[in-house]
Amino acid sequence: MSSKTDELVEQLSELTVLEMSELKEKLEEKWGVKAAAMGPAVMAVAPGAPAEEAEEATDFSITLDAIDASKKIAVIKIVREITGLGLKEAKEVVENTPKVLKESAPKAEAEEIKKKLEEAACKVTLKGV
């Protein structure tokens, strides 16, 4: 590898999962392509990384614990987007918290979903699976 690619690999290794997600979106926009979903191979720990990182979960269950009643409609829309449920089913999920929204999602996706729900004044829990 050239020194330029070595330097780029080092810089990419320092990005957080959220920063990687943003990078992916920007590259998709710039190049006009859609990247495949990140799988376990992409989430592999780099050689020489600390052991704690290797044991970190790569998939998470997403639980909607509580909502702000004044934001109920917005939360229903987000739940429909996340789960693909119909309006009635999404409303039932929102009204009967805590509920698991997704059994398993990659870390980047789980954090993105959590962020959306928290912006709508929801309490969300991610649990490694």
- Asked if 62 and 78 touch (Cβ cutoff 8 Å), the reply is no
Q: How many residues does the chain have?
A: 129
The domains located in the chain, with CATH, are 3-54 (no CATH), 59-128 (3.30.1390.10)
Compute the distance between CA of residue 122 and CA of residue 56 in angstroms, rounded to an integer: 25
Cβ neighbours of 110 (radius 10 Å) = 25
Note the pLDDT tens digit of each residue in 2-61. 788 888 888 888 878 778 878 888 887 888 777 655 444 444 445 554 544 445 778 888
H/E stretch holding 66: strand 59-66
Share of the chain above pLDDT 90, in %: 14
pTM given for the model: 0.54
Distance CA 72, CA 76 (A): 6
